Amino acid sequence: MARSALARWWLLFSVGLLAVVTGGVGRALAEVPKASRLVQSDAVIYLEATRPSDLVDQVAGGSFQKLLSTIPQYSRYIKSEDYSRGREILDFVLSKLDTTWDKGLRNLAGGGAVLAVEVPQGGLPSIYLLIVPRDASFLTQANTALLELARKDAADKGKPDPVKSAEYRGIRGWATGEKGAYAIVNDVLVVGDRGDTVKRLIDRTLDGVKAGQSIVDDAAWKTRQAETRPDALAWGFARLDRLRQIDAKKFEVPEKTPLPLTFFFGSWIEALRKGSWIAASLGWSGEKLAAGITLPKPEGGYAALYKGFIPPEGSAAAPLLSPPGTIASLSLWRDLAAVWEAKADLFQPQEAQDLSKLDTPAGQFFGGSDFAAVAGSINNNWRLVIARQDYSKMKPVPDLKYPAFALVLDLKPDDEDFPLRLKMAFQSFVGLANLGSAQNKAPPLELGSETFEEVTIATTRFMLPKSGTDPQEPVHYRHNFSPSVAHVGNHFIISSSVGLTRDLIKALKSPAKSGDTTLTIEADGSELAKLLEINRSRMVMQNMLEKGQDKAQAEEGVDTLLSVLRYLGHGRLTARDGADTFRLSLDFALGRSKGDRP
The model's pLDDT over 503-514, given as tens digits with 9 standing for 90+, comes to 999 999 988 888
Over 80: is that where the pLDDT of 85 sits?
no
Q: What is the DSSP letter of 477?
A: G
Q: Which of 588, 585, 493, 594 is nearest to 294 (CA)?
A: 585
With a cut of 80, say whether residue 146 has pLDDT above it.
yes
In this prediction, residue 111 has a pLDDT band, given cuts at 50, 70 and 90, of confident
- Alpha carbon distances (Å) from 569 to 320, 321, 473, 591: 18, 18, 36, 4
- Name the residue among 594, 597, 571, 580 with its Cα closest to residue 291: 571
For residue 549, the model assigns a pLDDT of: 83
* Share of residues in the chain with pLDDT > 90 (%): 49
Neighbours of 64 (CB within 10 A): 17
Coil, helix or strand at residue 452 = strand
Q: Where residue 10 falls among pLDDT bands split at 50, 70, 90? A: very low
Q: What number of residues does the chain have?
A: 598
**CA 57, CA 104: separation in Å to the nearest integer?**
12
User: What is the pLDDT confidence band of residue 597, given thresholds at 50, 70 and 90?
Assistant: very low
pLDDT at position 594 over 70: no
572 or 554, which is more confident?
572
- How far apart (Å, rounded) are the C-alpha atoms in residues 224 and 50? 14
Cα separation, 346 vs 273, whole angstroms:
14
Task: Tell me the C-alpha to C-alpha distance, in Å, between residue 546 and each of 71, 104, 531.
Answer: 21, 45, 21
Separation CA 551–CA 559 (nearest Å): 12
**Does the pLDDT of residue 502 top 50, yes or no?**
yes
pLDDT at residue 27, rounded to an integer? 35
Higher pLDDT, 59 or 7: 59
Q: Which of 157-166, 208-217, 396-405, 481-490 has the lowest mean pLDDT?
A: 157-166
pLDDT digits (tens, 9 = 90+) for 248-257: 888 889 888 9
Q: What is the dihedral of CA 508, 513, 517, 520, to 10 degrees?
A: -40
Average pLDDT rounded to a whole number, residues 352-362: 88
SS3 call for 145 = helix
Helix (H, G, I), strand (E, B) or coil at 58: helix
DSSP 509-560: HSPPPP-S-SEEEEEEHHHHHHHHHHTHHHHHHHHHHHH---HHHHHHHHHH
Residue type, 284: W
Per-residue pLDDT of 295-350, as tens digits, reads 999 988 899 999 999 999 889 999 999 999 999 999 999 999 999 999 999 999 99
Name the β-bridge partners of 129.
115, 191
Q: Single out the residue of 113, 144, 147, 161 nearest to residue 15, CA to CA.
A: 113
The pLDDT of residue 471 is 65
Distances (CA, A) of 128 to 115, 282, 351: 6, 21, 44
pLDDT at 176: 61
What is the DSSP pairing of strand 126-131 with strand 113-118?
A: antiparallel
Question: pLDDT-derived band of residue 12, with 50, 70 and 90 as boundaries?
Answer: very low
Amino acid at 118: E
- Strands 326-333, 519-524: pairing is antiparallel
How far apart, in whole angstroms, are the C-alpha atoms of residue 346 and residue 332? 18
pTM confidence score: 0.86
CB atoms within 10 A of CB 222: 13
Confidence of residue 16 (pLDDT cuts 50, 70, 90): very low
Q: Which of 277, 303, 340, 290 is nearest to 582 (CA)?
A: 277
Q: Name the burial class of residue 242, with classes exposed (0-12), middle (13-18) and buried (19+) by CB atoms within 10 angstroms of its CB.
A: middle
